[in-house]
Amino acid sequence: MYILEVNTTFAAAHHLRNYRGRCENLHGHNWRVTARVTAEEPGKEGMVIDFSDLRKAVNLILTELDHTNINEHPYFRTVNPTSENLARFIFDKLNTMIPDCNPEAQVSSVSVEETPGALAIYEPQN
């Protein structure tokens, strides 16, 4: 199994709904996102996916969130913008973009780190 990983960041504000504590107030993070793609074999050019293509796809998704109040994003108007839900949102969007790059590659996980050492990982069960 081949595993490729890219890391990138974005800055955004959010507040948690149905939560009692400091995070129910509007606050921001410099989020770190890690996306992992796997494939049994690389493509004919010897790559699972070009790192540049993977990074572009992740950054395209993050453009929707960067320097915004995440709660105002259409998806997060009803979904609580926790790190867990952000990881799932990015995973689902990225999963629709990867087959365009390499039909053999698949997103295996996305992690979202809101502060150093505090991260959520979304990885579907097979």
- Mean pLDDT score, 92-103: 84
Q: Is 14 a catalytic residue?
A: no
Residues 49 and 109: their CA atoms lie apart, in Å, by 15
120 pairs with which residues across the strands? 112
Domain boundaries 2-122, corresponding CATH code: 3.30.479.10
Amino acid identity, position 112:
V
Query: Catalytic annotation on 73?
Result: no
User: What is the model's pLDDT at position 45?
Assistant: 84
pLDDT, position 66: 98
* pTM for this model (two decimals): 0.93
Q: Give the mean pLDDT of the chain.
A: 93
pLDDT tens profile 34-64 = 999 999 988 888 889 999 999 999 999 999 9
Is 101 a residue whose pLDDT tops 80? no
Tell whether the model's pLDDT for residue 119 goes beyond 80: yes
Q: Is 10 within 8 Å of 65 (Cβ atoms)?
A: yes
Write down the catalytic residue from 14, 101, 113, 114. Answer: 114
Contact, 109 vs 125, CB < 8 A? no
Q: Give me the pLDDT at residue 23, please.
A: 83
Query: Length of the chain, please?
Result: 126
Could you identify the residue written with the tokens 């053999």? Answer: 104
83 touches 112 (CB < 8 A): yes
Active-site residue among 40, 41, 67, 72? 67
Model confidence at 124: pLDDT above 80: yes
Residue 125's pLDDT is what?
Answer: 87
Residue 121 has pLDDT above 90, yes or no: yes
**CA quadruple 50, 104, 39, 35: dihedral, nearest 10:** 60
Looking at 23, 24, 40, 123, which residue is catalytic? 23
What Cα–Cα distance (Å) separates residue 121 from each residue in 20, 52, 105?
23, 22, 19
Q: Where are the domains of the chain?
A: 2-122
Active site residue 67: yes
Would strands 106-115 and 2-14 be described as parallel, antiparallel, or unpaired? unpaired
